[in-house]
Chain A
């Protein structure tokens, strides 16, 4: 296979730039793997490393600083057969740190080349996440106060399956790149190099120094045995293959006539754990068995196991446009916390409203008709009170009938749960 370098767009790096070496080594690496340009996508971001995609006759996507790994993951998941190579600098590595961690944890079969030259070359040599504390760079004293990041250490601890630290000047860099690209999994190469335009103007750093510094560090040998695992895309597709397609939303046909014509508003006030939202849904489904339009709005605390839980339902023979609640026809008050969220509304209730009230729940005085629910003495658990209140409504043939409620329950539940809820319905309506 010929060189994949774009003859019309030769590299434009500063004389002596390490990126030039990596460009040549990457081309040679592709050659070693016998890859054609249309089998490769080079994904880059901002900075001098972001020029890479223009030098190759391959698929290319150049995007925003630090985000290259995100585009690359989208491409790789959509086109698993593509060889995806990401180039980033130490700058992009810093700004896109969360994406590096996520990529290491995920383990998609891609290669990340970090072109690590210890500073932001393009914007004036400011310090990056890898700038040594004793370097003289374009950020004044700031880099002296921070500790440089070991990209390999971070990648390994985040779960990368292949991690290697290289010099831009080592003779076998092309082979190293080829090994990383051929590796089945997320491979990170931290490639150290010199930025003559900025960094080495004030700092002494030679290829020899880099080789010596790399020797001082514990070696990164490539595959990380403790992180070895399935490639994400393979794993994803294998898992997804066994998932059953989701059935479309259940549909309900009109089977009953509603007990009262018109539009009805129901407010359900309770606590977390009282299955308020489910009861609201059941009421809507019950209405739909009589051909009524239905809407439901819910309100609950972010601490889902504690605090008030409120559901507002509308049932109407006519299309419902406005889904907000006005003065409800029925209020089911099962907890004081729920009531306290609606005190101003409850004080305005008129005599057309029926309030079904659990013991110990106090409502502000109003003209509403009150009906006491005493489920406790009948051995009904608090989590069944909301459904029992609906059964009470059905027994009174108010808004919903027994048949409508039964229809809703058989739509919503199956098996043992259905048996249990129907038993509860019978218990309430029989009395």
Chain B
């Protein structure tokens, strides 16, 4: 077993390369810059392309163009960049362009604190587009997750043809950890499904049982259309309200109804009436706190969510079935807790959050557990 010392951002880049990513464009921003740096050292020698865009809007725009030629594309930024990505996130949602977007979160609002961590963009990533249509958001806990969840993010982006966020955090992205990369879970690599009948190709045609259209790249033998406008199956603007309604419903259903297939998570602790629910870097402290509490005879169980959006409702209901008290821990002032309250009516839901650039410590969590 050989261990390497790498930070979360480097692990994202290695995971992307392993998933088949060959196009990256980004604009430097702390704490995401080292993803750009690492992709720049990895991609060009591997026959891929890495660009530094003139701004964030351009960076994701380059990725969307490249993705439409069939390349697996990724971009990375932090909160201020996600703000600028918004119009292109909507484009990727509505026009079903696969892309992985890494958000190494930092303390906001606005330019905020470049070198302080937070999980302040959890709702922003879900709702920061102009449609309200769903996206996928995965949340790594540590460097190993940065690697394997980046691979999963590509798989999901390709399978469902949608933007997939990796909700990292300065405290994961820029923290170095010793890790045995060879031992990290390597999911099989998926690619988008290509249309076989290119003669009769319609870019948004849906056949029976399909929820995602087959793909042909721009540059294929037959002309391929892509548009950001509300379109019919032929990729031209439509004004047919029935067609529009079924298109919107399909974009909603293709993610909302499939989340059980990619509800990544960890369950820890002992069966207990108190259940902690958390995600991201706070899960590191929660794992430690739960271990200490269980050793001291204070039973508590832990659910670490690694798929945040769509909300893995059945996983959460199932895991919380026996719990009387649910404590939601977040590195913000309360965002995902509202989903938990919505899903678990009738249960006592406590919230513990902090947003001052410091990590929530295991000690704080132990206190929350025993105080209940």
**Chain A residues at the B interface, C-beta cutoff of 8 Å:** 9, 37-38, 41, 43, 53-54, 57-64, 67, 70-79, 81-82, 98-99, 101-102, 236, 239-240, 243-246, 248-254, 281, 284-285, 287-288, 292-299, 302, 320-324, 326
Set of chain A residues within 8 Å of B61, measured between Cβ atoms: 63-64, 67, 70-71, 73-74, 99
The answer, among A60, A67, A297, A326, for a CB contact under 8 Å with B223, is A60
The answer, among A62, A101, A102, A239, for a CB contact under 8 Å with B227, is A62
For the complex, is B46 an interface residue (Cβ under 8 Å from A)?
yes
7 contacts between A and B (CB under 8 A): A38-B222, A59-B219, A67-B87, A74-B64, A75-B66, A249-B4, A321-B285
Across the interface, do B49 and A320 meet the contact criterion of CB distance under 8 Å? no
A59-B362 Cα distance, complex, nearest whole Å: 55
Interface majority SS (helix, strand, loop, mixed), chain B: mixed
Q: A62-B229, A75-B68, A324-B361 are in contact. Are A294 and B178 (CB under 8 A)?
A: yes
Q: For residue A301, which residue of chain B has the nearest CB?
A: B115
7 shortest interchain CB distances as A-B pairs: A74-B65, A70-B61, A251-B2, A71-B65, A240-B44, A74-B66, A249-B4
Chain A nearest Cβ from B3, distance in angstroms: 5
Chain B nearest Cβ from A394, distance in angstroms: 18
Q: For residue B289, which residue of chain A has the nearest CB?
A: A322
Across the interface, do A63 and B228 meet the contact criterion of CB distance under 8 Å? yes
Q: For residue A77, which residue of chain B has the nearest CB?
A: B49
| Extra A-B contacts (5), CB below 8 Å, given A53-B225, A63-B64, A302-B30 | A64-B88, A284-B176, A288-B5, A288-B178, A320-B177
1/0 per position for B159-182, CB-CB distance to A under 8 A?
A: 000000000000100111110110
Q: For residue A57, which residue of chain B has the nearest CB?
A: B223
A98-B285 Cα distance, complex, nearest whole Å: 43
Set of chain A residues within 8 Å of B87, measured between Cβ atoms: 64, 67
Across the interface, do A102 and B58 meet the contact criterion of CB distance under 8 Å? yes
Set of chain B residues within 8 Å of A299, measured between Cβ atoms: 115
Across the interface, do A98 and B176 meet the contact criterion of CB distance under 8 Å? no
Q: A60-B227, A249-B10, A253-B2 are in contact. Are A67 and B287 (CB under 8 A)?
A: no
Across the interface, do B45 and A284 meet the contact criterion of CB distance under 8 Å? no
Set of chain B residues within 8 Å of A76, measured between Cβ atoms: 65
Q: For residue A314, which residue of chain B has the nearest CB?
A: B177
Chain A nearest Cβ from B68, distance in angstroms: 6
- Interface band, chain B: 35 or more
Most buried by B among A78, A240, A246, A287: A78
Chain B nearest Cβ from A73, distance in angstroms: 6
Set of chain A residues within 8 Å of B35, measured between Cβ atoms: none
Chain A nearest Cβ from B289, distance in angstroms: 8
A216-B70 Cα distance, complex, nearest whole Å: 47
Chain B nearest Cβ from A266, distance in angstroms: 14
The answer, among B44, B58, B220, B227, for a CB contact under 8 Å with A243, is B44
A295-B186 Cα distance, complex, nearest whole Å: 22
Across the interface, do B55 and A38 meet the contact criterion of CB distance under 8 Å? no
For the complex, is B316 an interface residue (Cβ under 8 Å from A)?
no
Q: A75-B68, A248-B181, A252-B3 are in contact. Are A321 and B288 (CB under 8 A)?
A: yes
Q: For residue A408, which residue of chain B has the nearest CB?
A: B5
Set of chain A residues within 8 Å of B53, measured between Cβ atoms: 70, 102
Across the interface, do B3 and A251 meet the contact criterion of CB distance under 8 Å? yes
Set of chain A residues within 8 Å of B288, measured between Cβ atoms: 321-322
A296-B291 Cα distance, complex, nearest whole Å: 22
A76-B65 Cα distance, complex, nearest whole Å: 8
Q: A59-B223, A74-B65 are in contact. Are A294 and B177 (CB under 8 A)?
A: yes
1/0 per position for B13-46, CB-CB distance to A under 8 A?
A: 0100000000101000010000000000110111
Set of chain A residues within 8 Å of B63, measured between Cβ atoms: 74
Chain B nearest Cβ from A425, distance in angstroms: 19
A320-B172 Cα distance, complex, nearest whole Å: 13
Quick one: which of B271-285 are within 8 Å of A by CB? 281, 284-285
Chain B nearest Cβ from A1, distance in angstroms: 14
The answer, among B25, B58, B174, B223, for a CB contact under 8 Å with A38, is B223
1/0 per position for B42-77, CB-CB distance to A under 8 A?
A: 101111010101110110011111111111010000
Set of chain B residues within 8 Å of A54, measured between Cβ atoms: 236-237
The answer, among B25, B62, B177, B226, for a CB contact under 8 Å with A295, is B177
For the complex, is B355 an interface residue (Cβ under 8 Å from A)?
no
A41-B9 Cα distance, complex, nearest whole Å: 35
Set of chain B residues within 8 Å of A246, measured between Cβ atoms: 41-42, 45
Q: For residue B63, which residue of chain A has the nearest CB?
A: A74
Chain A nearest Cβ from B225, distance in angstroms: 5
A54-B236 Cα distance, complex, nearest whole Å: 7
The answer, among A67, A75, A248, A253, for a CB contact under 8 Å with B57, is A67
